């Protein structure tokens, strides 16, 4: 029987898989990482030890399907989130930014709300969460409406399209009993009530958030 001890692992760290039998010789097991679309990313052989340990060297942050084979037999398939280094510290900073965004939503004073949003945007940018920073930037500087002529026809705009591909994300179950890391994902999307739907830019980062907590979130298809 195999089980991944922690499904959130830093890039460059060790993925530990608990096993009922051991010790394991080096290279006895193989970890195959695949993208959500099924594309094979990397095969990693285990290190010697009582439990299975796989070094995630040069594995880019992202959401993967982890397939573990021992002596050629596939024994485990599970979702895995590979994060950037110093994940716990970055998560603390991220959660403070989420709380500041919640406070901004509650703030009725426009100037104070803008100051909070700028603080959130700068924090997201420091964490290299560019998609979330862009979302906040659009709140600070709303996109002007597409201009029409007197006949009601859309005018051509030289700066390009105002619109980007978006997805609608729905909170399908309360996260009240979920781990704090899962709650942070839900909060970062601005979802506070069950069955509420938000619209976000269609990016791998947003889809990865949904994939990490499929028991809480789903993408609403048109």
For residue range 212-221, what is the model confidence (pLDDT) as tens digits?
A: 899 999 999 8
> CATH 3.30.1390.20 residue ranges in the chain?
164-222
Query: What is the C-alpha separation between 64 and 218, in angstroms, rounded?
Result: 18
Average pLDDT over residues 77-106: 81
Query: What is the C-alpha separation between 215 and 62, in angstroms, rounded?
Result: 19
Query: What is the C-alpha separation between 130 and 138, in angstroms, rounded?
Result: 12
Average pLDDT over residues 115-133: 85
Burial of 136 by CB count in 10 Å (0-12 exposed, 13-18 middle, 19+ buried)? buried
> CATH 2.60.40.10 residue ranges in the chain?
2-83
Least confident segment among 113-127, 129-143, 155-169, 172-186: 155-169
CATH of domain 2-83: 2.60.40.10
Show the DSSP H helices in the chain as ranges.
87-106, 110-126, 130-140, 180-188, 204-212
Residue 150 has pLDDT above 50, yes or no: no
**Exposure class string for 29-47: b at 16+ Cβ within 10 A, else e:** bbbbbbeeeeeeeeebebb
What is the CATH superfamily name and number for domain 164-222? Ribosomal protein L30/L7 (3.30.1390.20)
Strand, helix or coil at 12? coil
Two tokens, residue 158:
């030289």
């Amino acid at each position: 029987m195999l089980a991944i001890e922690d499904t959130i692992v830093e890039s460059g760290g060790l993925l530990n898989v608990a096993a009922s039998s051991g010790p394991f010789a080096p290279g006895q097991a193989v970890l195959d990482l695949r993208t959500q679309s099924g594309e094979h990313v990397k095969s990693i052989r285990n290190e010697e030890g009582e439990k299975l340990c796989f070094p995630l060297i040069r594995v880019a942050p992202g959401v993967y399907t982890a397939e573990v084979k021992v002596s050629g037999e596939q024994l485990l398939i599970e979702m895995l989130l590979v994060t950037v280094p110093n994940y716990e510290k970055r998560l603390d900073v991220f959660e403070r930014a989420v709380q500041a965004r919640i406070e901004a939503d509650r703030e009725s004073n426009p100037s104070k709300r803008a100051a909070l949003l700028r603080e959130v945007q700068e924090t997201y940018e420091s964490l290299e969460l560019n998609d979330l920073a862009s979302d906040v930037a659009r709140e600070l500087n709303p996109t002007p409406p597409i201009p029409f002529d007197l006949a009601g026809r859309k005018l051509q705009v030289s700066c390009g399209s105002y619109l980007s591909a978006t997805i609608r994300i729905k909170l399908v179950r309360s996260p009240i009993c979920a781990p704090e890391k899962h709650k942070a994902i839900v909060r970062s999307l601005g979802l506070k009530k069950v069955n509420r739907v938000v619209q976000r830019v269609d990016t791998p980062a947003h889809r990865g958030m949904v994939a990490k907590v499929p028991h809480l979130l789903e993408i609403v298809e048109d």
